[in-house]
Amino acid sequence: MKMSRVSILLFGAALVFSSATFAGEINKGSLRLDDKVVVDGKPLAPGTYRVEWDGTGPAVQVKLLQGKQAVATIPAHVTEQGTPNSQDGYATTAEPNGSRALTTIYLKRFTLQIDQN
């Protein structure tokens, strides 16, 4: 009797810890910029950036990090894709001054639509 309770307790603990680990991985991704883009008024050079977001529901705060340094923090709306995207990507729009503003980040399972100011 005690052995089955211990087994159930260990199994339950394993589920809790594995779901916490999984939840932490959901809110991260990687973005490779091929072009210079503007994010929240800041120019970002081409390169690889880590994408992390915090928040519950569709409204989130997105951080773009290069190494361990946050280079931009922006509000966005996140949606989970029914069918995973074939690859990560991004969308931009032309600004009046000729620069390109980041509007959307496409990750494997999520789309982050950046709120425009």
Q: Categorise residue 13: left if φ over 0, alpha if ψ from -120 to 50, beta otherwise.
A: alpha
60 contact partners, CB below 8 Å, separation of at least 6: 53, 54, 75, 76, 77, 78, 112
**The model's pTM:** 0.75
| pLDDT tens-digit readout, 86-114 | 889 999 999 999 999 999 999 999 999 99
Confidence of residue 57 (pLDDT cuts 50, 70, 90): confident
Going by DSSP bridges, is the β-strand pair 110-114/100-106 parallel, antiparallel, or unpaired? antiparallel
Cα 23 to the center of its chain, rounded Å:
12
Q: In the predicted model, is pLDDT for residue 60 greater than 60?
A: yes
Structure confidence at residue 104 (pLDDT): 96
What rounded mean pLDDT belongs to the chain? 83
Cα 36 to the center of its chain, rounded Å:
20
Question: Which of 67, 41, 37, 70 lies closest to 53 in space, CA to CA?
Answer: 70
Residue 29: burial class (beta carbons within 10 Å; 0-12, 13-18, 19+): buried
Q: In the predicted model, is pLDDT for residue 32 greater than 70?
A: yes
Question: How far is Cα 88 from Cα 10, in angstroms, rounded to an integer?
Answer: 37
Q: What is the average per-residue pLDDT within 51-69? A: 92
